[in-house]
Amino acid sequence: MQIRLTAPPHLRHKTILPASKSISNRALIIHALAGGKDLPENVSDCDDTFVMVRALTQTDDPINIMAAGTAMRFLSAYWSVNEGTHTLTGTARMKQRPIGILVNALRTLGAQIEYVETEGYPPLRISGGLHEGGRLSLPGDVSSQYISALLMIGPVLRKGLELELTGQVISRPYIDLTLKLMKDFGAQAEWTDEQHIKVEPQPYRPTPYYIENDWSAASYWYEIMALTPDKDAEIILTGLFADSAQGDSAVHGLFEPIGVHTEFFCDDDGMPFVKLTKHPIATERLEYDFVNQPDLAQTFVVTCAMLGIPFRFTGLQSLKIKETDRISALIRELEKLGYPLHEACGSELFWDGQRTEVRPHPAIDTYEDHRMAMAFAPCCFAVPEIYINHPQVVSKSYPHYWDHLKEAGFEITAL
Ligand SMILES: O=C(O)C1=C[C@@H](OP(=O)(O)O)[C@@H](O)[C@H](O)C1
Ligand SMILES: C=C(OP(=O)(O)O)C(=O)O
């Protein structure tokens, strides 16, 4: 399937964002470990959370978690501390996303795990066996999801868990988010220094939990606000907390110099919301290290190119093992729109302002990556007509993205 997008001339819109899938999937695992009765509230309705709910409530085997990295990693640890044998599998891409670091860590702690197809990659057959816990050292520079997965089972282990993370710790806010949820459910878990985390053997307490909306999803509305030519545009996004533990809440500060101003409010029921308005661009160039907000990289690469703001973005090493190799995908697709990007060291992307010819009828490929579709859609403000291939990929984190764009006045035609 392909869609054609045309941008609205004016923009005044209020949207109810999806709940955070990162928080939903943590809350569901911790809720299951706590043996709670009442499910967390405002659980995301995205694919990545749907597969988590299904895995935790049904007895199917193999368990297919499709493309959800968090479900794959968190459930591998979860089934290691539970009875029975479970096979976890996923999409063809999931079978290329490495999991050896987590499997080695779980095996060292006593879990029985076999690779069903390829050493180091899903699918996995997990037969439990992990009960003691203790000390463990593992690399912190590949995916924070391995660390979050281990941390969440720490409180139910007899000796708790002490993790030493080697190398640069990437995606650190996601580890902090895990620790925050664990503490919200009564666990004791802290960084003891920059590279060490200690989890006490103190079981979770069932706790009513409300899940915030998703700051990563908000980033596409920031991009829309940055790119609309309507100087009086106003966008309201609901359910976003100013003091959120989501690392991607950094998006509001990062968009200030590139033309989007954020104000925080609360409605009469105490529900927070943000108002976005346009203000002057205050920078001629952007440099930023995305090591703590890898999911925002596509939003900023596309926004800066469309605004004609040259950039150098670093800390992108984890992008190569996400839904697709996002570095290659960005280079290939922006090239179609006449923006030659350059990669350095496998972890940097830069654009020096050079332009090349735009392809006629540019159709953006999405590589089974929701963020490719969502980040390229707002290009219709800069390119009169843009086409997106396989737009349904957005359901991984934001199933109603296209409906929300239509409500905001975008013309979307299925071809
Ligand atoms: O823990 C999480 O919820 C996530 C951690 C990040 O992955 P990495 O730690 O692999 O960078 C992020 O990219 C992903 O979308 C969600
Ligand atoms: C990388 C992502 O997800 P995951 O790793 O959980 O599949 C994402 O949502 O951008």
The verdict on residue 335 lying in a domain is yes
Q: Is the CB of 49 under 6 A from ligand 1?
A: no
Domain boundary among 131, 165, 199: 199
Phi, psi angle pair for 164, to nearest 5°: -110, 125
The model's confidence at residue 76, banded by pLDDT at 50, 70 and 90, is: very high
pLDDT value at residue 341? 98
Q: Using the structure block, give the residue that is written with the tokens 């290290």.
A: 289
14 plus 88 within the same structural domain: no
277 plus 232 within the same structural domain: yes
128 plus 236 within the same structural domain: no
The verdict on residue 190 lying in a domain is yes
Residue nearest to atom 3 of ligand 2 (CA): 69
Is residue 362 over pLDDT 90? Answer: yes
- Rounded to an integer, the average pLDDT of 308-322 is 98
172 plus 244 within the same structural domain: no
CATH of the domain at 392: 3.65.10.10
Quick one: which ligand is closest to 65's CA?
Answer: 2
> Strand pairing partners for 312?
287, 350
The verdict on residue 206 lying in a domain is no
304 CB-side CA count, 13 A = 31
pLDDT value at residue 132? 97
Q: How far away, in angstroms, is 354 Cα from ligand 2 center?
A: 31
Report the atom number in ligand 2 closest to the C-alpha of 70. Answer: 6
Pairing of strands 12-16, 2-6: unpaired
Per-residue pLDDT tens over the stretch 107-153: 999 999 999 999 999 999 999 999 999 999 999 999 999 999 999 99
256 plus 180 within the same structural domain: no
Directed axis angle between helix 21-34 and helix 47-57, to 10°?
Answer: 10
Q: How far away, in angstroms, is 368 Cα from ligand 1 center?
A: 17
Q: How far away, in angstroms, is 69 Cα from ligand 2 center?
A: 6
Domain boundary among 131, 166, 199: 199
Report the atom number in ligand 1 closest to the C-alpha of 22. Answer: 3
> Of the residues 174, 327, 347, 372, which should be mutated to test ligand 1's pocket, given the most ligand atoms within 8 Å of the CB?
174
The verdict on residue 207 lying in a domain is no
Locate all alpha helices (DSSP H) within 228-296, ordered by sequence.
Answer: 251-255
12 plus 29 within the same structural domain: no
Q: CB-based burial of residue 120 (10 Å sphere; 0-12 exposed, 13-18 middle, 19+ buried)?
A: exposed
Which residues are part of the catalytic machinery? 295
81 plus 173 within the same structural domain: yes
The verdict on residue 143 lying in a domain is yes
The verdict on residue 208 lying in a domain is no
Domain boundary among 141, 175, 199: 199
Q: How far away, in angstroms, is 9 Cα from ligand 2 center?
A: 33
279 plus 396 within the same structural domain: yes
Full domain range(s) for residue 75 = 21-199
Per-residue pLDDT tens over the stretch 252-261: 999 999 999 9
Strands of 86-89's sheet in order across: 63-64, 86-89, 124-126, 113-115
Q: Using the structure block, give the residue that is written with the tokens 């108002």.
A: 275
Q: What span, in angstroms and rounded, lies between the C-alpha atoms of 17 and 238?
A: 6
The verdict on residue 246 lying in a domain is yes
Ligand 2 cavity residues, CB under 6 Å? 67-70, 295, 322-323, 371, 397
Q: Is the CB of 397 under 6 A from ligand 1?
A: no
> Of the residues 99, 322, 372, which should be mutated to test ligand 2's pocket, given the most ligand atoms within 8 Å of the CB?
322
Asked whether 135 and 107 are in contact (CB, 8 A), the reply is no
Q: How far away, in angstroms, is 143 Cα from ligand 1 center?
A: 7
399 plus 314 within the same structural domain: yes
Per-residue pLDDT tens over the stretch 247-288: 999 999 999 999 999 999 999 999 999 999 999 999 999 999
pLDDT value at residue 60? 85
Task: Count structural domains, the chain.
Answer: 2
178 plus 315 within the same structural domain: no
Report the atom number in ligand 1 closest to the C-alpha of 295. Answer: 13
How does the average pLDDT of the chain come out, rounded?
Answer: 97
Is residue 336 over pLDDT 90? Answer: yes
Mapped onto helix, strand or coil, the DSSP state of residue 262 is strand
Is residue 384 over pLDDT 90? Answer: no
DSSP state at residue 411: E
The verdict on residue 127 lying in a domain is yes
129 plus 231 within the same structural domain: no
310 plus 387 within the same structural domain: yes
pLDDT value at residue 98? 98
Cβ neighbours, 10 Å, residue 1: 9
